[in-house]
Structure 1
Amino acid sequence: MNAPADQPGTWNLEPLRADHAPALLAFEQENRAYFARAIPDRGDAYFTEFTTRHHALLAEQDTGLSRFHLVITHEGAVAGRVNLLDIEDGSAELGYRIGERAAGRGLATAVVAEICRLATTAYGLTRLTAVTTLDNPASMTVLTRNGFTQVAPPTIDGRPGIRYERPLTPAT
């Protein structure tokens, strides 16, 4: 990316599709070690069973229970992903990951702002939650910058964490 990652036109948020599979798998493989430094590793089975899992995510998305998105750069590369999980009663859990090449330039903050907007306008949600580990200050900053507040301390795969929440209004 030439411009800062948070500037309009440098990326698009696309709903997950079947044809995203090869690029998404390459993104996850390329960033596996990077992600494992801040969040629990997906494990080898994730990669060996990727095609089956990808089809299952698409089927889940078709039910409306979750919404999966890829962050695609203007060059066509996957820079990250952002998901709304367990959609129920106007609420969903936010999950996101930005690849190492795009990290540190405001992309996560911009992508979370955009998914908050979509959650309200396209999906009719009224509340988002998110969790992160205490040893992931970058994620805590992204959530705070996007209006999330701390509500409870969960444990994530045995690691201490923080739960965040953000009410959504039509104006967000």
Structure 2
Amino acid sequence: MRPVLGVERLRAGHAAALLAFERENRVYFAASVPDRGDAYFARFEERHGALLAEQKAGVCHFHLLVDGDGAVWGRVNLVDVADGSAELGFRVAERAAGRGVASAGVRRVCERAGSEYGLTSLRASAAVDNAGSRAVLARNGFRQVGEVELSGRPGLRFVRDLTD
């Protein structure tokens, strides 16, 4: 059963819950995406502030999937916003895997991307061996357009037109 989660824009008050999410899932994430490294955790407060500044400047839109207790279950981010487009990235907690959390979160952020942020297209990438992420993108209307290298691993490139 999928938990009931809200999608919230990143804010200063999310820092502790977001850090807990990243720490709890570090090993799980490292199995499919490059590890953030020890410096990320050691300087988390500074990094969190930098993300908020980027969001305020409009070059990124960061979102958390949170439950009623404020616990973070996932992230869906839009980065490198320019010319009506952005790069979408997402990650969900191990406890959320296979429960529709990523698909629902990506769907809701795609809706916001067009209606609230005025974007007309999104780009995304997923490792060839990351079937879960590729399925989330497919379920949300992304189509494969090419191949990429992701930290030395073969990956696929996707796009989604938000004007349809």
Do both share a fold (TM > 0.5)? yes
Q: CA RMSD in A?
A: 0.9
Where 2:104 maps in the other structure, the secondary structure is helix
Name 2:9's counterpart in structure 1: 15
Name 1:27's counterpart in structure 2: 21
Where 1:153 maps in the other structure, the secondary structure is strand
Amino acid at match of 2:58: G
> Does the alignment pair 1:4 with 2:2?
yes
Give CA-to-partner distance per residue, 1:64-120, whole Å, 9 cap, x none.
000001100123210001100000000000011000111111111111110110000
**1:58 is matched with which residue: 28, 42, 52?**
52
Name 1:131's counterpart in structure 2: 125
CA distance in 2, matches of 1:27, 1:4: 18
Name 1:71's counterpart in structure 2: 65
CA distance in 2, matches of 1:80, 1:157: 22
Name 2:99's counterpart in structure 1: 105
CA distance in 1, matches of 2:100, 2:74: 12
Name 1:91's counterpart in structure 2: 85
> Does the alignment pair 1:161 with 2:159?
no
Name 1:142's counterpart in structure 2: 136
Amino acid at match of 1:31: N
Q: Which runs of 4+ in 1 moved over 2 A?
A: none
Amino acid at match of 2:110: C
How many pairs align? 164
- State the TM-score, normalized to the length of structure 1: 0.93
- State the TM-score, normalized to the length of structure 2: 0.97
The percent identity for this pair of structures is 57
CA distance in 2, matches of 1:154, 1:19: 36
What residue ranges of structure 1 are gaps of 5+ in the alignment?
Answer: none
